[in-house]
């Protein structure tokens, strides 16, 4: 059951992925890896790379599409929340840079960081602003230029990531649609297994940090996998069950796209068929904050999302951070 009287509805979606493709053959050409290893262990066939520009540039293009589809001008936006782990700069926030590039003159905004769960946590955050009655037009963006923090000499991590952006608009509705329920968690004991070692206040940039390649993603994949495969599936299944539903009531699971084997585990735990799961990891790899909104935008554009559909957004990422959100599609 929904916890809110006024509901927060997703009313538009948009996305942008850069045109340049990095396929598995590229990695075969200089790393000790194979197309077969990458496909079978992750499900990834290729990913998009932003050659010029920054996270805000992709975010703005995704946002423009979402705003156009909704019929809002940039001036209609009251709040921009930008979910990202690859901000253009440490400060100002990427939300400020997006505001300026969009020319949105009537809003405030900020960045939200929860690694691969950033967008999920952003949806819950945006919903609070809307259901409180305080804001009516929120622009939520998930955007990451993962190529800026992937170590292209580390075969364990560089094959996993791609660049992209997705955006949604969130606004109030009195209908029984929108963001209905959420189950969200963090567990800081996961920090050693997935993090960036330097660039923060703990280890500011120095010759040592650069020489040691500490400004890139560090991941102990197997450790993260073991938790992700259980916690993403369990949180999504728990959320569905506590709302009195089963897999049959769910039109789509919209999982964070980190690994096809993690997605499959969640699908099986929830008793869903392959057609009930949004998967585009083969095309884009892991775009961190952007995976879920890109899926929503692609499926909506293909006419597959219908008003009244129940969908479950779910993710697992660094922190650890994870959880699931139940949405009744509103348009
Ligand atoms: O989105 C944020 C959350 N992140 C995730 O959810 C990622 C979770 N983890 C994973 O998806 C998987 O652990 C990986 C895809 C990263 C790795 O798959 P795995 O089946 O867990 O492999 P592994 O890390 O246990 O490595 C198995 C072997 C190792 O060799 P040894 O030590 O057994 O000789 C790796 O060195 O595979 C090796 N390996 C590779 N081999 C070829 C690791 N990366 C590669 C590679 N090509 N690219």
Strands 321-328 and 178-186: antiparallel
Check 116, 158, 195, 259 and give the catalytic one. Answer: 116
Contact 256, 322 (CB under 8 A): no
Instruction: In whole angstroms, give the CA distance from residue 200 to residue 113.
Output: 14
- Homologous superfamily of 180-328: Thiolase/Chalcone synthase (3.40.47.10)
* pLDDT average, residue stretch 312-316: 98
CB atoms within 10 A of CB 13: 25
Listed in sequence order, the residues at least 6 apart from 180 whose beta carbon sits closer than 8 Å to its beta carbon are 1, 2, 7, 243, 326, 327, 328
CATH of 7-176, one of 3.40.50.300, 3.40.50.740, 3.40.50.720, 3.40.47.10: 3.40.47.10
- DSSP class of 176: S
Angstrom CA distances, 325 to 8, 44, 61, 236, 306, stand at: 12, 25, 26, 8, 18
Instruction: Tell me the pLDDT tens digit for each residue of 68-97.
Output: 999 999 999 999 999 999 999 999 999 999
Q: What is the pLDDT of residue 2?
A: 53
For the record, the structure tokens of 123 come out as 């949806």
Which residue intervals of the chain bear CATH 3.40.47.10? 7-176, 180-328
- Indicate the pTM of the whole model: 0.96
Residue to mutate (ligand 1; options 142, 160, 196, 222; most atoms within 8 A of CB): 222
Nearest CA to ligand 1 atom 1: 258
Check if 310 is active-site: no
Is residue 4's pLDDT more than 60?
no
Contact 290, 138 (CB under 8 A): no
Strands 194-196 and 217-219: antiparallel
Nearest CA to ligand 1 atom 2: 317
Q: What string of DSSP letters covers 32-52? A: S--HHHHHHHH---EEEE--S
For the record, the structure tokens of 240 come out as 């569905």
Q: What is the pLDDT of residue 5?
A: 79
């Amino acid at each position: 059951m929904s916890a809110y009287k006024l509901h927060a509805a997703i009313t538009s979606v948009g996305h942008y992925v850069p045109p340049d493709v990095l396929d598995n053959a590229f990695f075969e050409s200089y790393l000790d890896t194979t197309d077969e290893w990458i496909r079978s262990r992750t499900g990834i066939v290729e990913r998009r790379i932003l050659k010029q520009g920054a996270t805000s540039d992709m975010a703005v293009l995704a946002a423009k599409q979402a705003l156009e589809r909704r019929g809002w001008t940039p001036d209609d936006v009251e709040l921009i929340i930008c979910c990202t782990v690859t901000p253009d700069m440490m400060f100002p926030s990427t939300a400020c840079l997006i505001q300026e590039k969009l020319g949105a003159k009537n809003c405030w905004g900020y960045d939200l960081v929860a690694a691969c769960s950033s967008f999920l946590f952003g949806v819950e955050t945006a919903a609070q602003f809307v259901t409180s009655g305080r804001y009516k037009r929120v622009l939520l963006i998930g955007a990451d230029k993962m190529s800026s923090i992937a170590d292209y000499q580390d075969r364990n991590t560089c094959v996993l990531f791609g660049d992209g952006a997705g955006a949604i608009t969130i606004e109030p509705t009195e209908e029984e649609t929108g963001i209905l329920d959420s189950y969200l968690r963090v567990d800081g004991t996961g920090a050693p297994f997935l993090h960036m070692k330097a660039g923060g206040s703990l280890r500011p940039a120095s010759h040592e940090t650069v020489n040691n390649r500490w400004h890139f993603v560090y991941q102990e994949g197997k450790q993260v996998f073991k938790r992700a495969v259980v916690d993403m599936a369990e949180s999504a299944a728990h959320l569905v069950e506590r709302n009195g539903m089963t897999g049959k009531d769910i039109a789509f699971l919209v999982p964070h796209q980190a690994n096809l084997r993690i997605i499959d585990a969640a699908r099986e735990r929830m008793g869903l068929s392959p057609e009930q799961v949004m998967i585009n990891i083969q095309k884009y790899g892991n775009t961190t904050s952007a995976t879920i909104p890109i899926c929503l935008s692609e499926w909506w554009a293909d006419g597959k999302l219908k008003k009244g559909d129940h969908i479950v957004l779910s993710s697992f990422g660094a922190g650890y951070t994870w959880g699931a959100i139940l949405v009744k599609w509103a348009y």
